[in-house]
Structure 1
Amino acid sequence: MPYRHTEFGTLILVVCLIIAALGAAMMWHKAQAPMILMLAILGAVVVFFHSLTVEIGDNELRWHFGPGLWTYRLPQNEIESVAAVHNHWWNGFGIRTAPGFTLYNVSGLDAVEFKLKSGGVKRIGTDDPTGLAAVMRTQFERGA
């Protein structure tokens, strides 16, 4: 496999930890079922979105969040162009649909944009945008 990189969602982990601490403090004073539900949801967010792994191999781009319960796949022959980009802070984290593109991101503002032959655009957040874009361009040149 020519490329595999995992970015950890530091911001997501910190925000969830702060919210969980506040929720636990509130439960300490008065145990409430909604707080237990909130902590369970935060736990699920941490498990499913603590990292984003991107892989290139077998003529496709693959990426998944956390433990990889679901994997996104994009055949290389469907990609028209690749570029390292910088997202705005308001594009957020997680899986987002913004005007003109779909974003998959766990931390930071850097991403690689994949323009598809179908006209769609996917952005995958990464702390290694130049490395991911360079490997994809090399794959295009090889015709893999």
Structure 2
Amino acid sequence: MYQHKQYALFIFIILVWIGAFVALAWNLMGADVPLMVFTGILILVAFLFHGLTIRVTDSEISWAFGPGVFGQTLKLADISDVTAVSNSFRHGIGLRITHDGWVYTVSGFSAVQLTMRDGTYYRLGTNDQAALLAALNAKLSLHSET
């Protein structure tokens, strides 16, 4: 089984930058309700999107952000091809749909593209591209032999 978690360094940098302004406002204005609500939202975003975990088992691949939200599980038998790709700035971070299919990423540009038998594409951002690709190719070759 393959499992890897990539931490969202870029998201943390942005949240710390915003948090510095919130801390300054808190210090200058005091703790009012809108500021506390905004602080709560920043903490919630940090918790939900602190990383992306990808797992490959004998029969499926799954991925999810943070504590296991906004993810998906696919059967390996439904995958027709896997390819190492490089995302660009237009792919952004987080979860989105682009002309390249669904994109799940938290940091960096390395990704693995899954091509499904129904024509759907998924791009999974990872800082462990070679190992993820090797794990998927090993499991997919086992499925093609059976």
TM-score band w.r.t. shorter chain: over 0.9
> C-alpha offsets along residues 96-127 of structure 1, whole Å, 9 cap, x if unaligned?
11113110111111110001111110011100
1:47-84 Cα offsets, whole Å, 9 max, x none, are 01001111011400011111114541011011110001
Q: How high is the sequence identity, in percent, across the aligned residues?
A: 30
* 1:56 correspondence with 2:95: no
Hey, what's the Cα distance between the residues in 1 that align with 2:98 and 2:70? 22
C-alpha separation in 2, matches of 1:66 and 1:50: 5
Whole-Å Cα distance in 1 between the matches of residues 134 and 110 of structure 2? Answer: 15
CA distance in 1, matches of 2:13, 2:41: 15
Say how many residue pairs are matched: 143
Q: How does 1:12-27 map to 2 (within 5 A)?
A: 12-27=11-26
Q: CA deviation at 1:27?
A: 2.1
Aligned to 1:81: 81
The unaligned stretches of length 5 or more in structure 1 are none
| Structure-2 change in CA distance of 1:48 and 1:102 (3 Å) | same
State the alpha-carbon separation in 2 of the partners of residues 118 and 89 from structure 1.
27
Q: Indicate the residue corresponding to 1:116 in structure 2.
A: 116
What is the RMSD of the two structures over their aligned residues, measured on CA atoms? 1.4
Whole-angstrom distance in 1 between the partners of 2:47 and 2:122: 23
Which residue is 2:2 aligned to? 3
Structure 2 residues not aligned, in runs of 5+: none
* Greater displacement, 125-134 / 35-44: 35-44
Q: Which residue of 1 aligns with 2:129?
A: 129
Check the 8 A contact 2:86/2:111 in 1, yes or no: yes
CA 1:58–1:134: 2 relative to 1, 3 Å: closer
Q: Distance in 1 between matches of 2:116 and 2:28?
A: 53
Amino acid at match of 1:114: L
Instruction: Tell me how far 1:21 sits from its aligned partner.
Output: 1.2
SS in 2 for 1:131: helix
- Counterpart amino acid of 2:122? K
Contact 2:113–2:123 under 8 Å retained in 1: yes
Q: Structure 1 residue 37: deviation in Å?
A: 1.9
Corresponding position of 2:92 = 92
Contact 2:58 2:139 in 1 (8 A): no
Question: Which amino acid in structure 1 is aligned with residue 43 of structure 2?
Answer: G
